[in-house]
Amino acid sequence: MTASRTATITRTTSESSVTLRLDLDGSGTSSVSTTVPFFDHLLTAFSKHSLIDLEVDAHGDTDIDAHHTVEDTAIVLGQAIRQALGARTGIARYGDATVPLDEALAQAVVDVSGRSYLVHTGEPDGFALHRIGGHFTGSLVRHAFEALTAHSAVTMHVRVLAGRDPHHIAEAEFKAAARAFRAAVALDPRVHGVPSTKGAL
């Protein structure tokens, strides 16, 4: 019988408090509250399209800026994914997804490699400075992916291939990342042990 691939992590700093639970083998159900509404929307989409069950309860100094709460939540999400993966045996390891949202198109490629690396390109000029929903700045998409990859020990490439509306661009990026993670962390019955010639990930 396959061991449970779940994790529960709490992280508290002077800037934020985050409690997060996940199940890599879920059905995409979620309960997300970060006090940053658009980030809630993105994480809910990530859960739905990755099939990772996700519970998030986070709050922080959003009276100053949403940055700390978003980044710290992404740190904990990365830590939880890494913990839930365990020894990374039996996984597909790689995932690749291209996702449209109206005029926006994003591609994400994930390697559950044990090495943290992010390549993030293609967002249009001005996207990073645009406020979405009044709380979430476009630059936070990259910050979230940086924190997620650094703490999950995965390599991820995200490319925005087309897009005009900042909401659509950000959501397409998160949905593409979700679908790529879904494929990469999936258990493959043909894989025995760790999918690496080195014998470790």
pLDDT in tens, 78-87: 999 999 999 9
Task: Give the pLDDT mean for 52-59.
Answer: 98
What does the H/E/C string look like for 62-102?
CCCCCHHHHHHHHHHHHHHHHHHHCCCCCECCEEEEEEEEC
Q: Which of residues 43 and 1 earns the better pLDDT score?
A: 43
Indicate whether 18 pLDDT > 50: yes
pLDDT class for 194, splitting at 50, 70, 90? confident
Residue 144's pLDDT is 98
pLDDT class for 134, splitting at 50, 70, 90? confident
Phi, psi of 183 (to 5 degrees): -70, -40
Per the CB < 8 A criterion, the answer to whether 171 and 132 are in contact is: no
Cα 67 to Cα 60: distance, rounded to the nearest angstrom? 9
Residue 1's pLDDT is 47
Q: One-letter amino acid identity for 66?
A: A
Computed over every residue of the chain, the mean pLDDT equals 96
Indicate whether 199 pLDDT > 80: no
Using one digit for the tens of pLDDT, what is the confidence trace for 32-48? Answer: 999 999 999 999 999 99
